[in-house]
Chains A and B, each alone.
Chain A
Amino acid sequence: MKAAFDTVVVGGGVMGAAAALRLAEGGMRVALCEARQLGMGASGVNAGTLSIQTKRVPLIPYAVRGYELWKQAGDAVGFKETGSLTLAYNESEAHGLRQRMTARRNAGAPIEFITAAAARSLEPRIREGLAAASFCAADGYANASLTGVYYRSRLRAAGVDVRELTPAQRIVPGDQGVRVYTPAGMLRARRALLATGAWAKTMAEQIGVPLPIRLRVNTVSVTERMPKLIHAVIAHASGMLTLKQAANGTVLIGGAWQGRGSPDDWHGDIAPESLIANLRLAQFVLPELAGSRVVRCWTGFEAQTPDSVPLAGPMPGANNVFVLCCVRSGYTIGPYIGALMADAMLGHEPELPLFDPARLSVVSAQRSGAVESE
C-alpha cells in the first residue's frame, strides 16, 4: 500500500492538534481529520482552568509541563497566570484538602497551605468562615474558545494537511498501513492516531476494540459581565467548583457537575438539579454572585477509564493504530501529552512515560480481531 501520509490524526482537539504538530515538526507527512471544526468539542467548551493544584497525583508532572506550554502560547489563547485558591469550609473538607494537597505537593505541584486570613486578603470577596485553604501561584486559566483558532494557525504553519468538516467514518488497520475513510475520500497512511475524546469509544468499537471507558458530561456556566470580584482561579475542596473571572468581567462557573446526553448524536445538555447545585456552591463561595445574571450554561463530554489514567499508546491488537484519550484534566495536560505521544510515534523515547492502553486487560481480552491485511 502506498501511503500518502506517514500519519493521519483523527480528531482536532487539543490532543490531536498537539500530536499532529509535533509529528510534522519531527518530519512526518501528517493529515488531520476533524468531523466538525478544530477545538469544537471538550477542548473548546471546557471552563479553561489551567491548574496544577486540581490535578490528580499521577498526572501532576504532565500538568506542570502542559501548563508551561499554555503559558508560552500566551495571548493567542488568552492565557492568564493568576494563581489558584482551593477552599474548605468545614473540618471534613479541610481534612480532605490537607491530605490531597500534601500528596500533590509531594508529586511536584507548588502548593502551599495558607491561613484563612491570608486567603481572604488575596480574595476579599470570598465567603468568611474558611476551615482551610491552599494556594498555588503557578496556576491560571486560558480562553478555551480560542483552541481552534490557535491550533489552526499553528498546524497550517507546520504544514499539516488539516481537513475540517471531514469525519473519519471508518478506520481500517492493516499490516502495511491504515486506511481512513471520509465522505471526501479515503486517506492512506502508515499509521493513524485516534484522538477523538469522548468519541473514542465508538470509533474504537468500529475497529473491533472495546475500550472500557465511561462518559462524563461536565457542566459550565457563565454570567453577564460583572465588576471585578475575583482575581485568582477559585476551587472548592470537594473538587466540585471552579470559579474564574475573565478580563471582560464574565464569571465562569465549572466543577464537573453532570449533565445529560451522549456524544453519539452530538447532543449534550445540562440537568437542572445538577446546574442548580453547581450555582448554589458558587454563590456560597462568592456571595456577590447573587447580583449576577446567568447568561449561558453548556456541557462538554469527557471520557474516563476505570483507573482514571489516560489511554496513550498503541491500540491493542489494531496494527498501526494509536490512541490518545481519557486524559482527565485534558485541557491543561493536552499540549504536553499530545507531543509526548508524537515523540513515541516518531520513535523517540518520551520524556515521561505514556499510558499503555493494553494495561486494561478487558481491552486485550475482548478484542474481537478486525485486522485486515493488505
Chain B
Amino acid sequence: MEAASGPRLGADGDAPLAEELDRCGADRAYECYVWHVAKLPAGEASAPVYEISTLGHEGCGQIHGRALVIATGARERFYPRPGWTLPGVFGLGAASVMLQSRVLPGSHVVVVGPGAMAQSVARQIKDCGGEVVAHVDPNSRRRWVEAVSRLAQRVGFLARRRAGSAGAAGRDAPKYHGWDVATINGASAVESVTLQRVDEKWRPLARHNPRTISADALCIGYGLAPAAEMYQLLGARLRYAPALGGWTPVVDRSQRTDVSRLYGAGDSAGVLGAPAAYNTGRMAALSAAFDLGRLDRASYEREMRAAHRVQARAARAASALADLTRPRSSAMAWVPDATIVCRCESITAGELRGAIGEGAREINALKAATRCGMGPCGGRACEEGAAALLESARYSRERIGKLTARAPLRPLPLTALTGTFAYSDIPFPQAADT
C-alpha cells in the first residue's frame, strides 16, 4: 500500500521489527501518502535523483533520494461475479484489515478464494466470534494435496508444519473444494450466495447442481498481484509472471530493477509472501548501500550470499503454492454479460466483450473505448477481470499489457495539491498559443 498508517508491521510476531525500525535512525514519515514518484534527469554525481511527492499532515512535500526502494506490497485480484457489487461483499484483503481491528464483515460469512489468504480470513473470522458458513476454494482437493506435497518436498519440516496448521484452521467451516461463486443474491445487501462446481480451470461444470447458502457477507479474492504502479511511473521494465501474481517488475537476484538505483522489495517485486518479504527487503537495502558506496564489497557479498540462501528456500515454498492462486482467465469467461466489471464506471462484461469484438486488443485501448478503469479506483478492482476477458478472446497477456499508471497514485483532494496560494504566484510560462 502506498500509504503507511503507523508502525504496524504485519502480524504480532513482527513487533521486534517495528521496534528495530524505531531505533535504526531512519527518518520515518507515517500517515504520509506518496502520490507520485519520478526520477529526475541525472545531475552531478551527488545530486538527488529520485523525487518522491508526498502528502502528509503538513500538506504536500517532496523527498529526494539517491536511491529508491519500492516496497508497496500487493493488491488483490478479483474476478467479478453476478451480484458482487452488493453491500456485504468484501475483498479478502479488506476483510483482513477489518478483522485486525476485530470488526466482523458479517455474522454468517462465506469466504471464497484459492490458497492461504482465504484460509487466513476464515480463521480470523472465527477468532473474532463470527461464523464461516462456507469456505470455498475453486481448487480441487487433489490440487491442494499436490501443492502441499510439493511444499513438503521443497522445504521439508516447515511445510509440513504449515500444511498441518492450515488444515486445522479450516476444520469447523464447511469446505467447498472445487466450487466457486455462481451468483451473490440479495435485494439491497447480501442474503445468500449460490455456489457452483468448477473444473481444474475454474470453469463451471454444468452437470452439477448449484447450492445456495444463506449468508449476510461474502469475502472474496482470487490471489494477489504486485502493486507495481510506482515501478511503472519510473519506467522500470515489467514482465508478466503468473507465478508471481501477474505483472511484476523485472529484478535481478539482488533486487535491482533495470533502472539505476531503483530496487524492488517484498510482494511489490513479485508475490512470494511474508517470509520472503523480509529477506527481499534486506537484499534491496544491501544492494542500495553497496551501490551508493556505503557498504564494502566483502560485507556486501557475504551478507548477500546468506540472503540468497534464505531466498532460495522462500522462493521454493512460494512456487510450490503458486499454482493454487495463479490467474486463470477461464474463471472469468463464463461471467454473464450483465455483470458489472468496472464498479466505478458501471461497465458490464457485455460492454467490454462488445468493445473487444470491435477491435480493442490492449487493456489501455479497452479502457479508452469503454471507460473501464477510468474511475477513482484506477483499475485496481477491474483490471484483472477486463484483462481476463481480453485473454478469453485469445490475446496474450504480454500483448494485452497493463493499465498505464497515473499520478496521483490514489485520488487526492484537489486542495491537498493546490494548498494556499495567491494568483500572482502562479508561474505562467510563455503561453502555448500566443
Interface positions of A (Cβ within 8 A of B): 36-40, 44, 54-56, 89, 96, 100, 145-149, 152-153, 164-165, 216, 222-224, 238-240, 255-256, 258, 260, 265, 267, 269-272, 275-277, 279-281, 283-284, 289-298, 328-329
Contacts and interface: CB of A to CB of B under 8 A. Distances in A.
A254 to B, nearest CB: 10
Contacts of B38: 260, 269, 271-272
A38 B365 CA distance: 8
A37 B431 CA distance: 32
A36 B75 CA distance: 27
- Central interface residue in B355, B426, B433, B434, by most chain A CB within 10 Å: B433
Contacts of A89: 423
Contact of A149 (B36, B358, B419): B358
B364 interface: yes
B414 A293 contact: yes
Contact of A276 (B51, B60, B376, B423): B60
B368 A39 contact: yes
9 contacts: A164-B361, A239-B432, A276-B418, A281-B426, A283-B415, A283-B418, A293-B412, A294-B408, A297-B407
Contacts of A296: 374, 378, 406-408
Given A256-B432, A294-B412, 8 more contacts: A55-B433, A145-B368, A148-B365, A164-B361, A223-B414, A240-B429, A240-B431, A255-B432
Nearest to B405: A269
Nearest to B427: A277
Given A145-B369, A272-B53, A293 B417 contact: no
Contact of B411 (A269, A270, A271, A293): A293
Nearest to A258: B429
Interface string B396-434: 000100001011100111110111010101111101111
- Central interface residue in A89, A240, A265, A329, by most chain B CB within 10 Å: A240
A265 B258 CA distance: 14
A182 to B, nearest CB: 15
Given A270-B36, A275-B407, A294 B358 contact: no
B360 interface: yes
B361 A54 contact: no
A207 to B, nearest CB: 27
A44 B418 contact: no
Nearest to B375: A295
A152 B359 contact: yes
A155 B74 CA distance: 41
Given A37-B360, A280-B426, A281-B426, A290 B415 contact: yes
Nearest to A56: B433
A275 B359 contact: no
Contacts of B434: 96, 100, 239
- Central interface residue in B51, B371, B418, B431, by most chain A CB within 10 Å: B418
Nearest to B406: A296
A297 B408 contact: yes
Contact of B369 (A148, A260, A269): A148
- Central interface residue in A146, A153, A265, A293, by most chain B CB within 10 Å: A293
B358 A153 contact: yes
B411 A295 contact: yes
A294 B235 contact: no
Contacts of A291: 414
- Central interface residue in B233, B413, B431, B434, by most chain A CB within 10 Å: B431
B400 to A, nearest CB: 11
B180 interface: no
Nearest to A298: B406
Contacts of B107: none
B62 interface: yes
Nearest to A250: B374
Interface of B: 36, 38, 51, 53, 60, 62, 233, 235, 355, 358-362, 364-365, 367-369, 371, 374-376, 378, 399, 404, 406-408, 411-415, 417-419, 421, 423, 425-429, 431-434
Contacts of B428: 238, 240
Contacts of B419: 276
B368 A238 contact: no
B393 to A, nearest CB: 14
A165 B407 contact: no
Nearest to B423: A284
Contacts of B374: 145, 222, 295-296
Contacts of B375: 295
B433 A297 contact: no
A297 to B, nearest CB: 5
Given A276-B418, A293-B412, A40 B235 contact: no
A276 B431 CA distance: 17
A369 B97 CA distance: 65
Contacts of A148: 365, 368-369
Contacts of A283: 414-415, 418
Contacts of B404: 298
Question: 3 nearest interchain CB pairs?
Answer: A239-B431, A37-B365, A239-B433
B432 A164 contact: no
A287 B431 CA distance: 22
Contact of B414 (A54, A96, A270, A279): A279
A179 B226 CA distance: 43
- Central interface residue in A224, A292, A295, by most chain B CB within 10 Å: A295
B407 A280 contact: no
Contact of A238 (B53, B406, B408, B431): B431
A239 B433 CA distance: 6
Contacts of A290: 414-415, 418
B376 A293 contact: yes
Contacts of A269: 38, 233, 407
A148 B421 CA distance: 39
Given A240-B431, A256-B432, A284 B415 contact: no
A323 B358 CA distance: 29
Given A153-B358, A294-B411, A224 B418 contact: no
- Central interface residue in B374, B407, B408, by most chain A CB within 10 Å: B407
Contacts of B415: 283, 290
Nearest to B395: A165
A260 B234 CA distance: 11
Contacts of B362: 36-37, 40, 165
B413 A293 contact: yes
Contacts of B360: 37, 149
A40 B359 CA distance: 13
A204 B360 CA distance: 29
Contacts of A297: 406-408
Contacts of B235: 265, 267
Nearest to B428: A238
Contacts of A238: 428, 431
A279 B411 contact: no
A223 B417 CA distance: 13
